[in-house]
Structure 1
């Protein structure tokens, strides 16, 4: 989430080329390069275990990092590529890009909810479901929001709040090009179960064959 930018610690890699990269891997490191931002490329090494842990958490390429390298100023970076071993599928090289203030990037931004106390649906016992705790947005590096807020104060039971109901930061837009649901208020589980049972009973009654319901009122069975 933006607002809690994770640190990515690395070391300057001495030497370049395949030989230096192989030595880094033997030392338990993953070689990488930092480029862009009107500065010279910087060869680095990242601890293998730490990188693998971050990769397994997911969304590594859509996460903004605060790169910390001894002897260099901290800089915000985003991953542009992770090369992997063709058989083991483990990381063998990482490309990181420095960000300018005007750079457009895709990031997952956390969603906060407001208006729960005013929601008529919640007052009636409805249940709020946050369908998307995070939303992927295209944002500029200089204007990364800590979160976006969805207002549920007007939601009745059965209502939903979509991305079009959310006021997005200046210059930000969703990656998904449709009006998707962010949060919804549904009926309490007990009430929903009762509704399902009533519906099942109605269907069952409708499905009873006429032959099993007996003759209409006023008529008698006759063998004549």
Structure 2
């Protein structure tokens, strides 16, 4: 399961650009918690701690605990805004995570045993068609990554989604085919991009 982080927040009753600027002068940024059939809760959160969580990676797949005036909320970041020039965090939207909540998230793809992969040892190249896979997953069991083993992959082999063990309760949003995640391309054979690979997959149906 994706690891979590914690933030301390304060409920805010002022909204708008002026209020947001005032928060930023205090090292805070505006955010909102919504969902789970409850009213939206505008909050302010610390810029430094939130930025650290963002830059650690997996910000949109990690469950967080946000403590608002003593009350703890289980949430997941669904969207955030950055300053167009300074790349500074400006605002975060958090979705409440209730019992039985299912989320649609992009799960990273990882590969193991590249150093012993027969195809790569022969000069082939790992051509990653999908760096992430969009999946429906339980909010309380979001996987860190989908792992594909290259220990037996040879030149010309294709790794489909079926080549990995999916976490319990997790399902790809693409359900009509065993789609390609990566291939072992021949030396000098060129690299197909995602669109070309998808076109070939569609033609195979």
TM-score range, shorter chain: 0.5 to 0.7
| Number of aligned positions between the proteins | 185
Asked whether 1:63 is paired with 2:53, we answer no
Return the TM-score normalized by structure 2.
0.62
Shift of 1:58: 7.9
SS, match of residue 143 in structure 1: coil
Match runs of 1:1-224 below 5 Å: 2-5=1-4, 7-13=5-11, 15-18=12-15, 21-22=19-20, 23-37=22-36, 41-51=40-50, 60=59, 62-69=60-67, 71-73=70-72, 75-82=73-80, 92-113=90-111, 120-121=118-119, 125-127=122-124, 129=126, 131=128, 132-175=130-173, 179-187=178-186, 192=187
SS, match of residue 29 in structure 2: strand
Name the CA shift for 1:152/1:33 in 2 (closer, same or farther; >3 Å).
same
**CA–CA separation in structure 1 for the residues paired with 2:149 and 2:41:** 44
Q: Please, which runs of 5 or more residues in structure 1 have no aligned partner?
A: 197-224
SS, match of residue 119 in structure 2: helix
Shift of 1:99: 0.6
**CA–CA separation in structure 1 for the residues paired with 2:86 and 2:118:** 54
**CA–CA separation in structure 2 for the residues paired with 1:166 and 1:33:** 36
Aligned partners of 1:52 and 1:91 also within 8 Å: yes
**CA–CA separation in structure 1 for the residues paired with 2:74 and 2:97:** 6
Shift of 1:161: 0.5
SS, match of residue 164 in structure 1: helix
Aligned partners of 1:116 and 1:152 also within 8 Å: yes
Which is richer in strand?
2
Name the CA shift for 1:130/1:76 in 2 (closer, same or farther; >3 Å).
farther
**CA–CA separation in structure 1 for the residues paired with 2:150 and 2:85:** 49
Aligned partners of 1:12 and 1:42 also within 8 Å: no
Return the TM-score normalized by structure 1.
0.58
Name the CA shift for 1:185/1:126 in 2 (closer, same or farther; >3 Å).
farther
SS, match of residue 18 in structure 1: coil
- Considering only CA atoms, is the larger Rg found in Structure 1 or Structure 2? 1
Name the CA shift for 1:115/1:102 in 2 (closer, same or farther; >3 Å).
same
**Aligned CA-pair RMSD:** 4.2
